[in-house]
Amino acid sequence: MPLLEIRNLTKVFPLGASMFGARAKGEVRAVDDISLDIHAGETLGLVGESGSGKSTLGRLALRLIEPSSGSLRFEDQDLVAASHREMRHLRRDMQIIFQDPFGSLDPRMNVEDIISEPLVIHEALSLTARRTRVSELLRAVGLDPSVLPRFPHEFSGGQRQRIGIARALALRPKFIVADEPVSALDVSVGAQIVNLLAHLQREFGLTYLFISHSMPVVRYLATRIAVMYRGTIVEVGDTQQITEQPQHPYTRSLLAATPEIAV
């Protein structure tokens, strides 16, 4: 049984809908009838050009947005039918890491508050226990606990991404959607973050949906790769199979467009 089972998932956005209630001029099928399994312990790489629907699929997979149709099962629970209360419980197991480590951290909160927030919401811990957990999380992502009182603007992009990762790990999730987590970073800093994600996966037994527009980044981390094009998955397979024997012309073009080594 897969950890996450995606069946016939579709998300339609209205196109050019007017503020004044005029009828929408058509629609975008951002995710168009996608079926996909994500297995416990794997890194499924999701690759495709900008606008192909990767972020929409990632958000749907966590039910951060509602599908237009289709089904989602997480550990055999129906995610689409889950009540608000059930979702609140499920949220602990499913987290997201964003591309922009600037925009995704509240600039008015210090590191301790940022990482503590999910713990405050979901776990009744004493202040001491919470601080211990936050310090452990910081160490796990390669930051010193002395940074607890500091604010996001005091950190580099790579450090900020580490803070975002610590926050995502706070509730010990099983499944993480990483949506272009290194795309805003310099190549060498991005490589460190990718290595950190690989290390954390082994340490915490995580399952990743790792989203990137870059085939070299995806192939470095992914055990399997799904290639997305205009709202559909055109090809999915083991990383070696996809990179050495791509079947779909679009996959070949993605491989041809990218240098051999970027991380």
Which residues of this protein are in contact with Mg ion, per CB under 5 A? 55
Q: Which does 246 bind (CB under 5 to 8 A by kind): Mg ion, ligand ADP, none?
A: none
Q: Which does 13 bind (CB under 5 to 8 A by kind): Mg ion, ligand ADP, none?
A: ligand ADP
State in angstroms the smallest separation of the CB of 33 from ligand ADP.
15
The footprint of ligand ADP (CB under 6 A) covers 13, 28, 30, 48, 50-56
State in angstroms the smallest separation of the CB of 54 from Mg ion.
5
Q: Which is nearer to Mg ion, 155 or 210 (CB)?
A: 210
Q: Which is nearer to Mg ion, 138 or 227 (CB)?
A: 227
State in angstroms the smallest separation of the CB of 155 from ligand ADP.
25
Q: Which is nearer to ligand ADP, 28 or 109 (CB)?
A: 28
225, 236 Cβ separation under 8 angstroms: yes
- Separation CA 145–CA 122 (nearest Å): 22
How many CB atoms within 10 Å of residue 246? 21
Which burial class, exposed, middle or buried, applies to 36 when counting CB atoms under 10 A from its CB (0-12, 13-18, 19+)? buried
- Separation CA 30–CA 33 (nearest Å): 10
Q: Which is nearer to ligand ADP, 98 or 155 (CB)?
A: 98
Range list of H helices, 35-153: 54-61, 84-91, 111-122, 127-140
State in angstroms the smallest separation of the CB of 56 from Mg ion.
8
Q: Which is nearer to ligand ADP, 48 or 158 (CB)?
A: 48
Q: What is the DSSP code string of 199-261?
A: HHHHHHT-EEEEEES-HHHHHHH-SEEEEEETTEEEEEEEHHHHHHS--SHHHHHHHHTS-S-
Q: Which does 56 bind (CB under 5 to 8 A by kind): Mg ion, ligand ADP, none?
A: ligand ADP
State in angstroms the smallest separation of the CB of 248 from Mg ion.
20
Q: Which does 222 bind (CB under 5 to 8 A by kind): Mg ion, ligand ADP, none?
A: none
